[in-house]
């Protein structure tokens, strides 16, 4: 809030003017009754009316300016907070996103900052304005009739204590409410993202049940906050009634005893009204501010997560990459009890292809994630051209990376925009050249809008093989020095795969390539093949060497060849020879 001090200062000045002008009308009532009516000073009637009109105009004008100044400042604060949260989130380590759903993070970026409106916007204005009005009103009320005012102060202090207790009790409920809302948003995003699977297994009812459980829980929390808010407002109404009754009894007696004039009493009524109305509003605003602080608590929790570029300024600049990658005795585990990578060492010379194979859970993807800088080894080093990756700026290093992941993500844009994602300034000629190498140009040209075809969310309008080839074209266009292919040909038919392999052969020239593949026939040309099991390299060499060894690689290769040969043989039929 400190950065908005000037705006808040302007708002404070406008608010003071606004609140002071609100006391003019109650003040004129005393003069109207005691002087104009009581003492027949009719010449004061017009000045009093002009004062009331002038004060009303000032009050209306300052209210308008206040809403604009503070309201716009609040929206600007929300915008800037969203920008800061988004910047922080997208720079968090990959492991963070394994623990959180995307829908939950979307809610935290977009919804949690909304509470700032109640701190910098109308909420803070009403709160501070209410306090200021109460102070000014109490001064006037003490001057008019201090005995009754003292009793009112005791009542208001009791009410203030109750509100403070209510706000403390409601704050954790607001926080839990926002947490549940984020979880529901995350689950809903997951359901809609996998809608074809949901429909295929007839799981609509189960998903609806999960959603219903979430919204019912959210409803119960909202009900609690509504009851709490209603209780404070109800108590405020009771307080107004008690004060009104006291004014009738004590004020009436004071007039009868000539301790108050009728004008003083009417002015006292008006001033009490001016004071009590903001106090009732403060009860509403207090719950909004409690909700805002609950959101800020969640934002603070998120912002304390350590970014992967936290110490980027202290890392070395990487001006160029040749492509030599070395891993020295690296170890990695996601928790203390489950080692994923255990003492792996490898050297990939510039321009060579290294293939990683092994059963699921052997550590292939984790090993590649360390090469890409997504995970840091807990022991050992990853060297790029002889330099420790942990000492280099990741933003520099990743400019030299090209990636085709197992799950090919496409943005909801055109085919050309997706291919040029790593190189936004690429020309259409460059995009088409990359597409030809990836064997994508022909099917892209078959669309009416060609490269301007919109692919839909996650590329839903394309087949799996088409999405994969566009991802490959994207990696080709990046013109990287280090290329990572994670199951890059897994969704291609035999004809397309043959063409892609030829394209990759040209692409790998001069580039250091890491390939993860279950289809071992696609990596026979690799310079070195590493066989991983339980996070360790159990065999290494090229295809010919490993096959002749007759070890684990030979076993996997023959097993897969036999499986693919009999893949479409019906039960009871002879195997294909």
CA distances to 50, 99, 196, 372, 572 from 192, rounded to whole Å, are 63, 19, 8, 30, 41
Closest among 331, 318, 425, 458 to 382, alpha carbons compared: 331
CA distances to 216, 236, 487 from 134, rounded to whole Å, are 40, 14, 70
Helix 204-246 × helix 122-193 angle, to 10°: 170
Structure tokens at 374: 């997504």
Give yes or no for a contact between 274 and 59, defined as CB atoms under 8 angstroms apart: no
Residue 400 CA to residue 389 CA, distance in Å, equals 13
Give yes or no for a contact between 181 and 225, defined as CB atoms under 8 angstroms apart: no
Residue 76 CA to residue 574 CA, distance in Å, equals 72
Catalytic residue among 487, 509, 533, 573: 487
Residue 531 CA to residue 38 CA, distance in Å, equals 105
Closest among 56, 23, 30, 54 to 272, alpha carbons compared: 23
Residue 136 CA to residue 286 CA, distance in Å, equals 21
Structure tokens at 255: 């007039």
How is 398-439 classified by DSSP, letter by letter? GGGEEEE-SS----SSBHHHHHTTT-TT--HHHHHHHHHHTT
Residue 356 CA to residue 516 CA, distance in Å, equals 5
Residue 287 CA to residue 174 CA, distance in Å, equals 9
Structure tokens at 271: 């001033």
- Strand-pairing partners, residue 514, are 354, 484
Q: How far is CA 226 from the centre of its chain?
A: 26
Number of neighbours of residue 244 by Cβ within 10 angstroms: 15
Residue 71 CA to residue 74 CA, distance in Å, equals 5
Number of neighbours of residue 8 by Cβ within 10 angstroms: 20
Pairing outcome for strands 353-357 and 528-533: parallel
Residue owning tokens 């209210």: 63
Residue owning tokens 């007696």: 253
Structure tokens at 538: 């159990």
Identify whether 539 is a catalytic site residue.
Answer: no
CA distances to 142, 155, 165, 281 from 242, rounded to whole Å, are 18, 9, 21, 18
Q: Is 364 exposed, middle or buried (0-12, 13-18, 19+ CB in 10 A)?
A: buried
212-237 in b/e form (b: 16+ CB < 10 A) is eebeebbeebbebbeebbeebeebbe
Enter the DSSP assignment of 454.
Answer: B
**Catalytically annotated residues:** 487
């Amino acid at each position: 809030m400190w950065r908005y001090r000037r705006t808040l200062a302007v708002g404070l000045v406008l608010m003071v003017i606004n609140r002071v002008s609100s006391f003019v009308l109650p003040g004129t009532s005393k003069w109207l009754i005691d002087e104009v009516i009581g003492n027949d000073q009719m010449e004061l009637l017009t000045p009093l009316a002009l004062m009331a009109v002038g004060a009303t105009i000032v009050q209306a004008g300052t209210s308008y300016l206040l809403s604009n100044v503070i309201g716009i400042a609040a929206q600007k604060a929300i915008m800037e907070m969203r920008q800061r949260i988004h910047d922080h989130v997208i720079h968090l380590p990959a492991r963070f996103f394994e623990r959180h759903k995307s829908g939950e993070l979307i809610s935290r970026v977009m919804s949690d900052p909304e509470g700032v409106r109640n701190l910098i916007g109308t909420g803070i204005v009403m709160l501070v304005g209410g306090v200021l009005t109460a102070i000014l009103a109490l001064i006037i009320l003490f001057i008019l009739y201090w005995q009754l005012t003292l009793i009112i102060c005791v009542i208001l202090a009791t009410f203030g204590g109750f509100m403070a207790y209510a706000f403390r009790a409601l704050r954790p409920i607001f926080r839990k409410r926002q947490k549940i809302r984020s979880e529901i948003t995350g689950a809903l995003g997951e359901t809609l993202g996998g809608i074809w699977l949901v429909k295929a297994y007839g799981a609509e009812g189960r998903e609806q049940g999960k959603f219903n459980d979430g919204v019912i829980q959210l409803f119960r929390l909202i009900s609690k906050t509504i009851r709490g808010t209603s209780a404070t407002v109800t108590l405020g109404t009771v307080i107004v009634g008690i004060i009104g009754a006291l004014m009738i009894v004590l004020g009436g007696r004071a007039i009868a005893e000539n301790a108050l004039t009728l004008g003083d009493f009417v002015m006292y009524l008006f001033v009490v009204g001016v004071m009590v109305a903001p106090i009732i509003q403060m009860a509403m605003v207090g719950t909004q501010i409690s909700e805002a602080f609950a959101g800020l608590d969640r934002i603070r929790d998120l912002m304390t997560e350590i970014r992967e570029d936290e110490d980027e300024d202290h890392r070395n600049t990487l001006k160029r990459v040749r492509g030599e990658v070395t891993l020295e005795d690296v170890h990695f585990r996601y928790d203390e009890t489950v080692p994923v990578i255990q003492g792996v060492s490898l050297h990939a010379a510039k321009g060579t292809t290294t293939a990683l194979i092994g059963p699921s859970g052997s550590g292939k993807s984790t090993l590649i994630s360390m090469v890409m800088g997504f995970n840091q080894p807990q022991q050992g080093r990853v060297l790029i051209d002889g330099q420790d990756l942990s000492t280099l700026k990741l933003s520099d290093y990743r400019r030299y990376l090209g990636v085709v992941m197992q799950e090919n993500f496409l943005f909801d844009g055109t085919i050309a925009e997706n291919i040029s994602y790593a190189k936004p300034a690429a020309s259409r000629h460059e995009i088409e050249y990359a597409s030809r190498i990836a064997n994508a140009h022909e099917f892209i040209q078959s669309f009416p809008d060609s490269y301007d075809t919109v692919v839909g969310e996650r590329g839903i309008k394309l087949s799996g093989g088409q999405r994969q080839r566009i991802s490959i074209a994207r990696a080709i266009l990046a013109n990287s020095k280090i290329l990572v292919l994670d199951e890059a040909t897994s969704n291609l038919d035999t004809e397309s795969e043959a063409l892609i392999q030829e394209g990759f052969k040209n692409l790998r020239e001069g580039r250091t390539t890491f390939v993860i593949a279950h289809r071992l026939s696609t990596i026979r040309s690799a310079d070195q093949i590493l066989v991983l099991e339980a996070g360790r390299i159990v065999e290494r060499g090229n295809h010919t060497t490993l096959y002749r060894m007759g070890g684990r690689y030979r076993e996997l290769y023959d097993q897969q060849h036999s499986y693919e040969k009999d893949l479409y043989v019906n039960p009871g039929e002879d195997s294909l020879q």
